[in-house]
Every structure is written in structure tokens, then in C-alpha cells.
A and B are shown apart, each in its own frame.
Chain A
């Protein structure tokens, strides 16, 4: 009798109850996975698919195999696409120079990490550029750089230096935009380091001080290793920020003068979506190349995160 009731009990437990442990995590993951698939994974696949076509975004697609990539990278008899070449090198300049935001942010964070009257106000003042929109930053800097009325030239004139037209000079324009981008990015890195500095163990600092460490040695051997997580995040956001630099370029130079400030993301937009851009296939090919470059970095970050976690265990 008892065994029968136990059996019927088991059958009345629903299928979900029986598999609860196995299914629940998937249920929680489901919305995120669904959206990630719809907004990230599937579009990536579509971009790759479109990049094998010639398509004006309106009519019929024609399959042309890898012709877009051949033209982009100059495979075969044709020369490499010069716009692509310029964009690629500009992307590299962005990557290298944008990373200056990390040490600069660290420096400011160390400077601000003290207890003075009103330090919160100073901190928020330094953080202010990160709060305003990139478009506003771009506008402010383009006024700052104006060839005649700009503040920069007014300052240079005080020192007797001749007027420069930074955004109008193809050799300087990219650096001018990167400098504008560094302003908010430094503030971002600073905030990351400020929170990191809060977590520095005061006992270790005390112990190091007893052992006679100070100044540079204290920073390098005691503080920085404890800031490693903050440094890691700062690098990640800065590199990704450098690769997706678009708004500043669009606002400050619109890719000009004569295309010298294009980066890959801007070139992609120009070819496929802008006023005169009717080359969806070619734009997608650029997007795919940019995707693989980013994938390289992201893959490395994921690997180092995984490695750190394994070490911590």
C-alpha cells in the first residue's frame, strides 16, 4: 500500500519539478541568449553573408564570391584599396595613442586619492568630461582647433608660434581627434583606478613602508599589482573604445580632409549607409575585417580572464 502511494506520488510530481535543477539555469539564461542571438550572433552571420554579394541595399543581391575582399585587400592584380589602407593605419594610431588614457588616468587617480577638504568636488570635476556626450566633446574640440578663432591658436600666438589648422591638415587631423578622445577616456580610466585604490590593502602598504619602500618602488611593487583588475578593465574599455571611435570623427572632420581621418568603422558606414553609400556588400566586407580584428583582442581578453580565474582557484 505504502509503496503504491509512494509510486503515485512520484508520478504526480510534474516533469518540471523532477528536472528543476537541470532546467532552471537554462530558463534564466534563455532571454539573454535569445536577445544575444537576435541582436549579435545572427547579424554577424548576415554581415558575412552580405559581404559576398554586390548589393545597393535596395534591389537584388548578386553573389560575387570573395570579390569584395579581393578588392579591399588588393588580392590578385588590383592594388589595395587606399581608403582601406588609410583607415587601417588610422585605427592602429587610435589603438596605440588611445592607450595613453590608462597611465594618464592612473596618474590623476593617484593624485586625487588623498583626503583634502572638498576632494569630492575635485574628483567630480575631473570626471566631468566622461559625463558629457562624445558629440559635445567633438564640437568643443573642433571649436578649440578652429584655424583662426580657435583657442589653441590664440594660445600658440602668445608664445609666438604660427597658426595651425589641425583638423584641416591631413597629417595632423587624426592626432587632433585622438587628443579630443583622450579627454573623456582619461576620466573613465581615472574612475576605474579610484575605485581600485579604495581596495588597496592598507596593511600591505604599512608593511612595505616598514621595509623602506617608497615613491616609485612603492607604486610599482605594492600598489600596481593590487590594481591589476582595474588595469585590466581600463585596457579593455580603452581598446574597444579606440576600435569603435566613430562619433568624434563624424562630428569633427566627417572623415576629411580628403578622407585622411577615416577609420574602419567610419569607412564602413560611408560605403554602405551614408548619403552616397550604396555598397552594402563592400561595407559588410569592411565590417567583417573589423570584426576579426576586434575578435583578436576580445579573444585575448577572454583567455586572460579565464587564465586568471584558473590561477585564483
Chain B
């Protein structure tokens, strides 16, 4: 529908001005639209500017004002931005990460857009934007997590992609014996450890259990949680991780993989761009799904980035039209392609770009994530639990013997936070 509209509009515009006015009156919108975006890295920035340009083309009379804020800074600035005189559209993250703003009534409830069919093709991702049965924004991109590994080193050591955790550990033993570390990781900013725990817990105890833990329904001292940590400890004890990972950011730790000192990295698909930039070719890197531990359908981490309308926005109609535009199938295909964001489109009718990793990721999330799709540790758990939790996870990775103390601390926090 949307693409038809766009092409017909273009055709009419060429045909002559007089013919278009009547048509345009019905569909064109005017007035202001203020957008504040956190897409500050080079590629996302170009995408955001392209989105605005595309939308402007549809509505030439609209006065669109785009402000791009540094992505890290936005995480703390959003509070002030939503308070007085907010913009009409802002970026944020899905699931519990938007909880505080939804509870404070700062994000507009746009459930009606999902209900009346303004957002076709978003049914599969709707859940991530739902809190208490209502939707508070639209997604624009998501990406898979999983094991990115050095294919050439695997070949050199005669290893194949593992399916079970035993195979994973057996592989790791051989890698360690060859003088390398199995996994690169940088936990200075904590969240990377959250990814490992997500997978350890989802594979050991299943997706549903992991979500119960995220909702604070299970005790951290539960034996099942301990079992997940015990599995994790096997890797730590065999020297699977690079040393001193608590001193590196994820980008710094990537060097271990680029230099061949570590063979794999459990990370999101955004790391691929950095690996390619550092000179690794697609023959040298590959991807596999995190191996199976318990007998549970796999749950996967696939964080979703989102757009929202602040409830104090002045031009809500224009903002809604913009959300509709950016989630439409064609626009989704375009902005998530390999030379734009290089991630997965959220519209079911969009095409996935022909890219080794995007195809594998899309295939995995569509067919092999029967357990469910999680957002990520720091988006599924409430803000406070996530910050206390990730600190404990980092400590566990360095001093696994402190586990009892860590779990006790997390449990104490859980009791306090989920009253």
C-alpha cells in the first residue's frame, strides 16, 4: 500500500502541479516535527538523515527538525528531554528499559495504531514494545546475538561448529591447548557479561525460567540458577576467556579476536562491521548459534531499538505518520540493508539483505528460536536489578569462588526491588 502511494505520488508530481494538489491535500501533512535521535555513529546517522529526507519528500510542507545526540549521552539525557517541552519523536530501547518512562506516563500509548492496522507486518515484534497490554512505540531494527568465530582458526585446528555444550567445551579444550583463549570478552562496561549469563541461563533452564528470573519471580539463590553458573564456571576454570577482561571495553577486546589470540566472541551482530573494518574477511569469520545445554527450545537474545512519541509532544499526528513511514516494509528493507544499518528489519514483509550474517541471524531467529526472543539482560531486567546484577556477573567471571556471596547480594537486591 505504502509503496504504491509513494510511486503514484512521484508519478503525479512529474505529470504536473495542478494534478497533484487535490491528491496532496488529502495525504500531505504540514506543521512541525521535532525528532531527537541517538543514532550518532556514522552509519546510523546517515540512515536517520535519510529517513528524514525521505519523509520530507512525502510531505514537502512539513517543517522537520532533526537533532542527533550522542548515543551514550542520550541514555542519561532522555530524562531531561522528556520533561519540559519534549520533541515529537525520540529513540529508545524496548522491553523493561522503557519501563520507567512508561510508568511515569512520558511515552505515548500508541496501541490504537497497532489495532487499527496502521502498522502492518509488526505483529511478530509487537511483544517487545508491550507493557501491561499496551504498546508504547515502534521498533526500527534488531539484531541477533551469537557466537562469531574465526573460521580459519577452526579449520586449522580441525574444529566444527558445536551443537551441544559438550562439543563446545571439547572445542574449547583444543583451542586452549593451542595457546589461544576460546572467547574474547571485555567486561569493563559490564553488559557483555550479561550476554553470557542470558545464554547460560536460557540454555540451562529454558527461556521461560530466564524470564521468570527477569520478572523477579525466582530467587537468585535457586539451585537452577546455581546450575547455570556451574556450567558457566566450566569455561572460566578451563581458561576459556581472555585474561584481564575486566579492563577492556568490547571494542578493545575485539583485538584479541582480530589478532587470533581468541577464537570466538559472544556478541551482537553490530560487531561484524567492526571486524570487517579491522581487516577480517568473510572467509575468516563465521557465526553459529549458542549451543544446547538442557533439553529446552532455544531462546535467543535479539535486542530491538525503538522510536517513541513523548506524551508531551506537540505534533503527535505528524509523529505518528513518521513512525508509520519508518516501519513500512520498503523503508525497513532499505535502512537495515548491509550498507546502511546492517541489521534485521522488523517488518515481516521486508527483505533481508544478502549478507552471510544477516541471513544466518534471520534464519536462526525465524526458525530456531522456538523458546522465545529475549531483549537482553539490561533490557529484560529492571534498571536497578540489571546494574546490581551485571556487576555481580563481572565479579563472578573474575572470582568464581565468590559466587555464594554474589548470589546472596543479588537475592537481597531482588527482594528489595520487586516488592
Contact = CB atoms under 8 A, between A and B. Distances in A.
B88 to A, nearest CB: 19
Interface in A125-170: 146-148, 165, 167-168
Contacts of A147: 243-244, 247
Interface stretch (A54-62, A95-103, A192-200, A229-237): A54-62
Interface residues of B, number: 28
Contacts of A270: 387
B409 interface: yes
B129 interface: no
A59 B104 CA distance: 5
Nearest to B398: A257
Contact of B188 (A59, A148, A256, A259): A256
Contacts of A88: none
A165 B244 contact: yes
Contacts of A49: none
B75 A275 contact: yes
Nearest to A282: B384
Nearest to B416: A71
B100 A56 contact: yes
B79 A58 contact: yes
Nearest to A165: B244
A254 interface: yes
B250 to A, nearest CB: 13
A108 B392 CA distance: 43
A276 B386 contact: yes
Contacts of A254: 188-189
A276 B247 contact: no
B131 to A, nearest CB: 14
B18 interface: no
Contact of B76 (A56, A165, A273): A273
A274 B75 CA distance: 8
A279 B190 contact: no
B101 A58 contact: yes
B100 A58 contact: yes
Contacts of A82: 409
Given A58-B104, A276-B384, A257 B409 contact: no
Given A276-B378, A278-B383, A279-B384, A258 B392 contact: yes
B38 to A, nearest CB: 12
Interface in B370-419: 378, 383-384, 386-387, 391-392, 394-395, 398, 409
Given A58-B104, A278-B100, A256 B246 contact: yes
Contacts of A59: 103-105
A142 to B, nearest CB: 8
B39 interface: no
A241 interface: no
Given A258-B395, A275-B75, A276-B386, A148 B190 contact: no
B395 A257 contact: yes
Contacts of B76: 273-275
A256 B190 contact: yes
A256 B75 CA distance: 19
B394 A146 contact: no
Name the interface size band of chain A.
Answer: 20 to 34
Contacts of A168: 244, 246-247, 398
B412 to A, nearest CB: 8
A86 B306 CA distance: 37
B106 interface: yes
B289 to A, nearest CB: 29
Interface string B96-111: 0000110111100000
A276 B75 CA distance: 9
Contact of A258 (B100, B103, B104, B398): B398
Interface in A57-80: 57-59
B247 A258 contact: no
A74 B305 CA distance: 39
A276 B413 CA distance: 14
A167 B252 CA distance: 15
Contact of A146 (B75, B79, B247): B247
A259 B244 contact: no
Contacts of A275: 75-76, 383, 387
Nearest to A275: B75
A296 to B, nearest CB: 30
B394 A276 contact: no
Contacts of A253: 188
A147 B76 CA distance: 30
Nearest to B393: A258
Nearest to A146: B247
A278 B384 CA distance: 7
A278 B243 CA distance: 33
Nearest to A258: B395
B384 A167 contact: no
A276 B246 contact: no
Interface string A26-58: 000000000000000000000000000000111
Contacts of A258: 246, 391-392, 394-395, 398
A82 B243 CA distance: 27
Contacts of B383: 275-278
25 contacts: A56-B104, A58-B82, A58-B101, A58-B104, A59-B103, A59-B104, A59-B105, A146-B247, A147-B243, A165-B247, A253-B188, A254-B188, A256-B188, A256-B190, A257-B246, A257-B247, A257-B395, A273-B76, A274-B76, A275-B75, A275-B76, A275-B383, A275-B387, A278-B100, A278-B383
Given A168-B247, A276-B384, 5 more contacts: A165-B243, A168-B398, A258-B394, A258-B395, A275-B383
**9 cross-chain pairs, A with B, having the tightest CB-CB distances, nearest first:** A58-B104, A276-B387, A258-B395, A59-B104, A147-B244, A168-B247, A276-B383, A257-B246, A275-B75
